[in-house]
Structure 1
Amino acid sequence: MTDIPDPLGLRERVLYRDAATIVLDKPAGIAVHKGPKGGMVLEDGFDALRFDAPAAPQLAHRLDKETSGCLVLGRTAKSIAALGKLFADRGVEKAYWAVVEGGPDGESGVIEAPLRKRDAQRGWWMVVDHAGGQPSSTAWKVLGRGGGFTWLELEPITGRTHQLRIHSAHMGFPILGDAIYGRAPRTGARLHLHARHIAFTLDGRRVSVEAPVPLHMTAALSLTGWRPAA
């Protein structure tokens, strides 16, 4: 295993590993799989995560290119299928941390705003459409405030593309660094959205993992009251 190249440094980003699964701390700024623009993607480094398995692991779900944090991989055909069913049946607990501009008036709530693709030319871009969109729900809770920002915990009750980003922007508090749905510039912005926690039960084994806060989010989080663990 040590002879297999690790060009993306993924082995040091493994948060959890057993015979069936790997939970990886995905870095921000790299797509998980190939798209129309080409270039290196996270999957290109999965061979380095074989460890004692005969084949590279495969994605059990997706994270946006600019989102960091917990990403689940399956290590066997059986576990990949089982994980896919867990995600499809909403059997996976997910919590994201976001720093948003401004913030909600209350301390917790649920955003209900149906979503659909904007158009074929915009690919994965989404819009709120109360007449023709798919039902979409996001639970939110305030974890801290300060400096004109709010630190939110977001739980995607449904799993639509870009759901957390567009729901936040739709409610008037876009995620900091969002160049698609927010006010960030097209270049140089860093999205402040992090898949902080994921948990599920597979074959009787409980898996519960937290991903460390990425460096690019620490300054803004500090303004809202977050402090690194001692």
Structure 2
Amino acid sequence: MHGDRVLFIDGEALVIDKPAGLPVDRPRNGSISLENHLESLKFGFKRWPHAVHRLDRDTSGCLLLSRNPKAHARFQQAFEGGLVEKRYLAVLNGLVEGEGMIDLPLAKVSTMEEGWRMVGDPSGKSARTGWRALRHEDGRTLVEFRPETGRTHQIRVHAATGLGAPVVGDPVYGAGEPGGMLLHAASLTVPRGEKDPIIAEAPIPERFGIFQN
């Protein structure tokens, strides 16, 4: 992975701009994943860095990796404690106005026909996402999302079910399109006590087209 993908680096942390299409975990078929790039992300350390959280394969943007086990444990606690500020940008299929908070618990369901997916379920795990409409173009809306929890597919389900407008290109909760899914982890802020926080921003990718500028 090229060095221009590195958004932040110090002795205990690394934030990269993960490209869309690259899974964090190695797929069952053994195809390319983030693991194939870890050697190039050592930057003089003996250990490979380790991903602290996950981004969906087709989501691009800020991904935090730890550079030692103690830092990894602290960062995981920060995520679990809701202390990490995450900002996403997504283009939604439909016109959405205003801003608000989506409070929609999520549960995992599985069928032989469609495989597994997440659905809104009052008895599911708590999931909260703040949102704000930023811009409209050609029947689509650029929306800023700030998730307070980190459930699987949270923003994707909250967009499709909570706002009634799926993420453009979402193959599971939307129509799926050749240009890929327009969901991007735009920024990440991780507190570190007395140390300066980790702050990283990932530029909007070209696949966002007219919404890139």
Scaled by the length of structure 1, what TM-score is found?
A: 0.86
Whether 1:93 and 2:85 are equivalent positions in the alignment is yes
Asked if 1 retains the 8 angstrom alpha-carbon contact of 2:100 and 2:132, the reply is yes
- Trace 1:53-72 onto structure 2 (pairs within 5 A): 53-72=45-64
Structure 1 partner of 2:36? 44
Deviation per CA, 1:55-107, whole angstroms, max 9, x where unpaired?
110001000000000000000111111111111111110000000011323x1
Point out where structure 2 has 5 or more consecutive residues left out of the alignment: none
CA deviation after TM superposition for structure 1 residue 123, in Å: 6.1
Name the residue aligned to 1:34: 26
Counterpart AA for 2:56: D
Question: For residue 93 of structure 1, what is the amino acid of its counterpart?
Answer: E
Cα separation, 2, equivalents of 1:177 and 1:33 = 21
Between the aligned partners of 2:107 and 2:87, the Cα distance in structure 1 is 23
Note if contact 2:179-2:207 (Cα within 8 Å) is conserved in structure 1: no
In structure 1, the partner of 2:205 is 214
TM-superposed deviation, 1:35: 2.9
Amino acid at match of 2:208: M
1:38 Cα deviation from its structure 2 partner: 2.7
Question: Hey, what's the Cα distance between the residues in 2 that align with 1:123 and 1:57?
Answer: 32
Aligned equivalents of 2:87 and 2:158: distance in 1?
A: 15
- Counting matched residue pairs gives 210
- Could you say if the C-alpha distance between residues 32 and 16 of structure 1 is closer, same or farther in structure 2, counting changes exceeding 3 Å? same
| Identical residues among aligned pairs (%) | 37
Within-5 A mapping of 1:19-168: 19-105=11-97, 107-119=98-110, 125-130=117-122, 132-168=123-159
Question: Residues of 2 paired with 1:180 and 1:189: CA distance?
Answer: 15
Cα distance in 2 between the residues matched to 1:79 and 1:115: 30
Point out the structure with the larger strand share.
2
Question: For 2:10 and 2:116, how far apart are their aligned partners in 1?
Answer: 33
- Segments of structure 1 that go 5 or more residues without pairing to the other structure are 1-8
Q: Is the 8 A contact 2:106 2:151 kept in 1?
A: yes
| Cα RMSD, aligned residues only | 1.6
